[in-house]
């Protein structure tokens, strides 16, 4: 099959099916995880920490997960992560203490990191570079679809069987994703065998060799991750600040999620035909503008407008981090490199809420919003500069400097 004849639907089941199924389980659990912790006796702060441990597990295992994928391949990693998450969710279902639930969430975050790295690696092998951005964008969208459908199914399960039953739903979805992964092709086994003979490169050596990319474009990924993370922190806090009810806030997020999903199709096309910077910049710029004007949003329609603006930018950039990682990843040591790339995204996702939290300790929420908006505005320039340089090198056939 030639590049021009390639169709994404030819790899849809392998590439996107396991992600949608697994994301449904995670989407069902996330809205009620804090409530489950509360039922086990946690106070509000501890319950929030339990939710945060998913991100902690992902952050701590980004680099080890890259090493694992390099040795056993994408297919086996997907199967192993699906089975691990199935067991972890069953443990969470039966957890009788906050401590046990917390341990389960750390392990779930770890399994999710391995799962995402393996999905990204599979697409790099299976999809020609001319369709790479659309494939990565679709992968990001498949995760969003699962996260949108999951809470809807979870609500029905809770009404029928109770709150903790969503963990059983998540376990079933994780097991199903592992079964689906077992039906996939095992791509890249020849290159893994060659690297096995010569010796797999260590994670540290790979990251050191590509430190220039990680300290420039990788820092841009941290900015993108931080920008995306404030949707789940700043917007709900502001909605509560102006007196919106929980149902009103949920409706705003539902509309924003729909906008996010709709925008992934033009985003993927733009990345493949007009370059990566065309969508990378709007992701951060939309958040910068949204955060700067949020203090002026004093009613539900105004908050909805800000949420839709941020969602449109985020939707256009669906898959941008994975695409940039695929563009800059070396052939030898690719999985180890992508683990480091994933770490950059995780650092960004953690730093955004921390900045908001730090500022609110000494200033009003409106000030925190403006401070973040200004930081994102500065970050937009950094992201734009380095993604344009990457586009120029790709356009002239010059490999990115590493």
Q: Return the closest-CA partner of residue 92 out of 169, 18, 27.
A: 169
CB 119 within 8 A of CB 78: yes
Right CATH for 1-200 from 1.20.1250.20, 1.10.3720.10, 1.10.4100.10, 3.40.50.720? 1.20.1250.20
To which residue do tokens 């994408």 refer? 74
The DSSP output letter for 179 is: H
Residue 198, both tokens? 């010569």
Q: Return d(Cα 34, Cα 334) in angstroms, integer.
A: 36
Q: What whole-number distance in Å separates Cα of residue 113 and Cα of residue 121?
A: 12
Phi/psi of residue 256, nearest 5 degrees: -60, -40
Exposure on the CB side of residue 210, measured as CA atoms within 13 A: 27
pLDDT of residue 396: 42
Domains 1-200 and 201-402 in one fold? yes
Q: What is the pLDDT of residue 169?
A: 94
Residue 319: predicted pLDDT: 84
Give the gyration radius of the chain's Cα atoms: 20
First-to-last alpha carbon distance for the chain, in angstroms, is 32
Place of tokens 């030898």: 332
> For residue 229, how many other CB atoms are within 10 A of its CB?
22
Return the domain boundaries, the chain.
1-200, 201-402
Burial class (CB in 10 A: 0-12, 13-18, 19+), 236: middle
Q: Following DSSP, what letter does each residue of 336-385 receive, concatenated?
A: HHHHHHHHHHHHHHHHHHHHHHHHHTTS-HHHHHHHHHHHHHHHHHHHHH
Distance CA 10, CA 127 (A): 10
Per-residue model confidence (pLDDT) at position 1: 45
Per-residue CA distances from 34 to 163, 292, 350, 369 (Å): 11, 29, 18, 25
pTM to 2 decimal places: 0.78
To which residue do tokens 């705003």 refer?
252
97 in Cβ contact with 40 (< 8 Å): yes
Nearest to 284 by CA among 313, 261, 260, 319: 313
Q: Are 101 and 54 in contact (CB under 8 A)?
A: no
Query: pLDDT tens per residue, the chain (402 residues)?
Result: 455 677 777 787 888 889 899 999 988 888 778 778 888 988 866 776 787 788 888 888 888 888 888 888 888 999 999 999 999 999 999 999 999 999 999 999 999 999 988 888 888 888 888 888 888 888 888 888 887 888 888 888 888 888 889 999 999 999 999 999 998 887 765 555 555 555 567 888 888 999 999 999 999 999 998 888 877 778 877 888 888 876 677 678 778 888 888 888 888 888 888 889 999 999 999 999 999 999 999 998 999 999 999 989 988 888 898 889 888 988 778 888 888 888 888 888 878 877 877 888 888 889 989 999 999 999 999 999 999 999 998 774 444 444
Superfamily, domain 201-402 = MFS general substrate transporter like domains (1.20.1250.20)
């Amino acid at each position: 099959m030639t590049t021009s004849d390639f169709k994404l639907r030819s790899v849809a089941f392998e590439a996107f099916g396991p992600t949608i199924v697994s994301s449904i389980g995670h989407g069902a659990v996330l809205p009620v995880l804090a409530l489950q912790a509360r039922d086990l006796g946690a106070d509000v702060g501890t319950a929030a920490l339990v939710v945060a441990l998913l991100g902690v597990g992902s952050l701590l295992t980004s680099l080890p997960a890259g090493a694992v994928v390099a040795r056993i391949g994408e297919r086996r990693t997907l199967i192993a992560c699906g089975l691990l998450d199935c067991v972890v969710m069953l443990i969470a279902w039966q957890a009788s203490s906050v401590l046990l639930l917390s341990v389960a969430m750390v392990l779930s975050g770890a399994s999710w990191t391995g799962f995402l790295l393996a999905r990204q690696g599979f697409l790099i092998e299976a999809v020609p570079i001319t369709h790479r951005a659309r494939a990565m964008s679709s992968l990001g969208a498949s995760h969003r679809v699962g996260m949108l459908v999951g809470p809807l199914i979870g609500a029905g399960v809770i009404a029928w069987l109770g709150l903790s039953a969503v963990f059983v739903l998540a376990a079933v979805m994780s097991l199903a994703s592992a079964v689906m992964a077992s039906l996939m092709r095992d791509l890249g086994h020849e290159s893994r065998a060659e690297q096995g003979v010569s010796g797999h490169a260590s994670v540290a050596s790979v990251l050191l060799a590509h430190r220039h990319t990680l300290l420039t474009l990788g820092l841009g990924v941290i900015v993108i991750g931080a920008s995306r993370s404030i949707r789940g922190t700043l917007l709900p806090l502001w909605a509560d600040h102006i007196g919106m009810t929980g149902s009103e806030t949920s409706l705003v997020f539902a509309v924003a999620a729909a906008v996010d999903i709709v925008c992934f199709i033009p985003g993927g096309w733009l990345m493949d035909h007009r370059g990566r910077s065309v969508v990378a910049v709007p992701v951060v710029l939309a958040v910068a503008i949204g955060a700067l004007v949020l203090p002026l949003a004093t009613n539900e329609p105004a908050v909805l407008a800000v949420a839709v603006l941020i969602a449109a930018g985020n939707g256009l950039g669906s898959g941008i981090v994975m695409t940039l990682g695929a563009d800059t990843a070396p052939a030898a040591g690719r999985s180890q490199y992508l683990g480091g790339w994933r770490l950059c995204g995780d650092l960004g996702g953690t730093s955004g809420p921390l900045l908001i939290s730090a500022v609110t300790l000494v200033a009003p929420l409106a000030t925190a919003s403006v401070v973040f908006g200004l930081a994102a505005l500065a970050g937009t320039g950094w992201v734009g500069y380095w993604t344009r340089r990457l586009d120029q090198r790709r356009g002239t056939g010059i490999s990115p400097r590493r």
